Amino acid sequence: MSSSSSKRQTLFISTLIISWYSSNIGVLLLNKFLLSHYGFKFPIFLTMCHMSACPIVFLKLVPLQHLKSRSQFLKVATLSIVFCASVVGGNISLRYLPVSFNQAVGGTTPFFAALFAYIMREPGFHWFGFIICIITATAARAFKSVLQGILLSSEGEKLNSMNLMLYMSPIDVVALLPVTLVMEPDVISLTLTLAKQRQYMWILLLVNSVMAYSANLLNFLVTKHTSALTLQVLGNAKGAVAVVISILIFQNPVIVMGIGGYSIIVLGVVAYGETKRRFR
């Protein structure tokens, strides 16, 4: 690869990562605002709104790819359910945890995060929120990253990012609808009531859904052009950025241990990037 091609590739990937960070942190903070400060206490319905935005935004921007085999469909369906569970769990945890602690659990070893949070009386600690966050922040997210990497890169089953989102979205909506009706039965009436009280309710939900779609699409693009491992490393760094921004916006309390932990994460990301560059 020539020097100019390498620079263009680096610029392209850097732009993808910056765009992914911006949309992901934006939707995270808006989710927190809606679920904890705005009175909209329906994380499952909120996730369904996110997934419903995909077919609307898609609008034939790229040619439709057809699924080639039952095996490919099963992988897409599995990714959809795991992805959906991860997002729903993350949104539920945001109702109970500050963004800073939500991201800390996602980027550190859960056992020690729980132990230190309990011992040091982490501000805003909530056991239910923590357990939900732990389930979605470890195995589900790691499995999702690997499986989406296969679907985006393998020769026999390769799908582009927009087509993958297009196939996943209806599966997620179908899976979420009965869960929403059972666990959030009053969502429609209460949302309509809230919309009468809050002038910008529908605008916020629309912006939130479009941002979520953008974040998911960029997540797939970053995976395709880097790797599942790189995505996890970058995700940890993103968590550190989200923590700083959330503290500035929501005034979340923070402890010295938290600052130290995220400093280690940032140093780890820098070391990973330098090691990867040297061994190319």
Domain that holds residue 101: 3-278
Q: How many domains does the chain have?
A: 1
* pLDDT string in tens for the chain (280-residue length): 566 777 888 888 888 888 888 888 888 889 888 888 888 888 889 889 888 876 665 555 567 788 888 888 888 888 888 888 878 877 887 777 777 666 665 555 444 444 444 544 455 556 666 666 665 555 666 677 777 777 877 777 778 777 888 888 888 888 899 989 988 999 989 889 988 888 888 999 989 988 888 888 888 788 778 776 676 667 667 767 777 777 777 776 665 555 665 566 556 655 655 565 565 5
| Backbone Cα Rg of the chain | 19
pTM: 0.67
Closest to 48 (Cα-Cα) out of 272, 209, 218: 209
Biggest CA-to-CA distance, the chain: 60
Contact 91, 116 (CB under 8 A): no
